[in-house]
Structure 1
Amino acid sequence: MRNDDSKSITIAKAPGEPIDRPVTPTPGHTSRRRGALGNVVVMALATGMVATVALPAYAFAPGSNGTRFGATAATEMKAAQAQHVMVDEQATTITVARDGYTATSEAELRQAEADARRVEVASQMAAYAAAYSGPSVGDLLSSPAYPNYDLASVYKVALQYQGVPYVYGGATPAGFDCSGFIMYVYAQFGIGLPHSSSGQGAAGTRISEADARPGDLVIMDGHDGFYAGNGNILHAPYEGASVRVQPIWTSNYYIVRLGI
């Protein structure tokens, strides 16, 4: 017998004498055989897929039998929709009030800063008064040291106070602020001036810088000093500094002369 698509049948040629004769199967017979085989394969695959889908999801995770892949307490609670929370009864009686708290306003902060500044100035003035025992502005106006006024003499007297420290509100050689310095110097010539840069500017006559001479006043916004010639000013600058000569640092100023 041959191992191919042909089949053999036995035909009795004579009693006791078999004869092999190849018989070619018909096309229909082969197709039915292949179809049956295909059906068996398809059914096997389908059965396997159904079994796979039916497996629980955790069957695909390696080590799924361990606790690492088990449901957590939070997950189980969420699944059970557990939303009950226990609250102490005392919590319902607690009230919140602002009575025990305070807030400082911006105005209060500014006031506190101003108060602190006044205390500081008062302390400075106390030390300042204790450090000086000479004549005051009032004393000098009552009895001028230099009855004859001229700009050169004014500037010469003013130069004597270089190095005197700046003291806010100061108007004696123990300490000067800008207008206090000018007020004290001019008082020695019998000329009374207010303790204010703007007031001193208003007390004189404006002149051009070309006509300015040492002893005239340089008036700025909130500050003043003696004109020192060549674009310089002799003045009491600010806290921490002393009376000195330096170049005028701004173009926003004007010159005033007293006594004309």
Structure 2
Amino acid sequence: MRASMVRVNVASIVTVAVVATGCASTGGVPAPFPRPADHSGPTSTATARTAPPPVGDASGYALTNTALSLRGTPYRNGGADPSGFDCSGFVYYVFAQHGLAVPRTVLELSRAGRPITQDQLKPGDLLFFSTVSAGPSHVAIAIGGDEFVHAPSSIGQVRVERMSGSYWASRFVGARRVM
């Protein structure tokens, strides 16, 4: 009796730990998310040569259509295919469907491309949220307006949400353009 109680308690603790870490990046606490630089000065020409091209409306919308077609797909920690996704696996898979190679982890994605402000968002841009630790630990794809699509561990499926929702607004740490 006592041994079975210990097994149940250990299994419960492991389950809670896996669910709680959901889409967290691994490693130490990441540095604060970089803010977009002001490129209004003479350095903007040099920056433009090294920055990736901006998201074109057509490619951004095609990418978001792919992402939206996956709504309802279950959350799976470490998942990167339609049998189940974690947040970064979802981004990785969607971009790959359009021949675009992006990093696989939240931390690596948060360093890819170039930072943009919230008012510069276009469909296909990446949004980062701090859900379990300081700095980015969750990633989503902007679909337009106030909405994004992502694979959150809570409620367990790919879905659309609003950035203005109190949970997401308070956890938003930055956005990046990777296309």
Shorter chain as denominator, the TM-score bin is 0.5 to 0.7
By how many angstroms is 1:229 displaced?
Answer: 2.1
Q: Residue 250 of structure 1 aligns with which residue?
A: 169
By how many angstroms is 1:193 displaced?
Answer: 2.0
- Which amino acid in structure 2 is aligned with residue 236 of structure 1? A
8 Å contact kept, 1:219–1:254: yes
- Which amino acid in structure 2 is aligned with residue 159 of structure 1? L
Distance 2:119 2:68 in 1: 22
Helix, strand or coil at the partner of 2:148: strand
- Which amino acid in structure 2 is aligned with residue 244 of structure 1? R
5+ long unaligned stretches in structure 2:
1-9, 20-57, 130-135
- Which amino acid in structure 2 is aligned with residue 229 of structure 1? G
8 Å contact kept, 1:165–1:240: no
Distance 1:213 1:192 in 2: 19
Summarize the alignment of residues 1-260 of structure 1 with structure 2, pairs less than 5 Å apart: 116=14, 150-220=59-129, 221-248=136-163, 249-251=168-170, 252-259=172-179
TM-score normalized with structure 1 length: 0.42
Q: CA RMSD in A?
A: 2.5
- Which amino acid in structure 1 is aligned with residue 126 of structure 2? L
5+ long unaligned stretches in structure 1:
1-111, 122-148
- Segments of 4+ in structure 1 off by > 6 A? none
Higher gyration radius (CA): 1
Helix, strand or coil at the partner of 2:124: coil
- Which amino acid in structure 2 is aligned with residue 241 of structure 1? G
By how many angstroms is 1:240 displaced?
Answer: 4.0
Q: How many percent of aligned residue pairs carry the same amino acid?
A: 35
By how many angstroms is 1:250 displaced?
Answer: 2.1
Cα deviation 1:70-101 (Å, max 9, x = unaligned) = xxxxxxxxxxxxxxxxxxxxxxxxxxxxxxxx
Cα deviation 1:110-145 (Å, max 9, x = unaligned) = xx67x946xx89xxxxxxxxxxxxxxxxxxxxxxxx
Distance 2:121 2:14 in 1: 41
Helix, strand or coil at the partner of 1:233: strand
By how many angstroms is 1:239 displaced?
Answer: 4.8
8 Å contact kept, 1:167–1:239: no
By how many angstroms is 1:184 displaced?
Answer: 0.3
Distance 2:119 2:14 in 1: 44
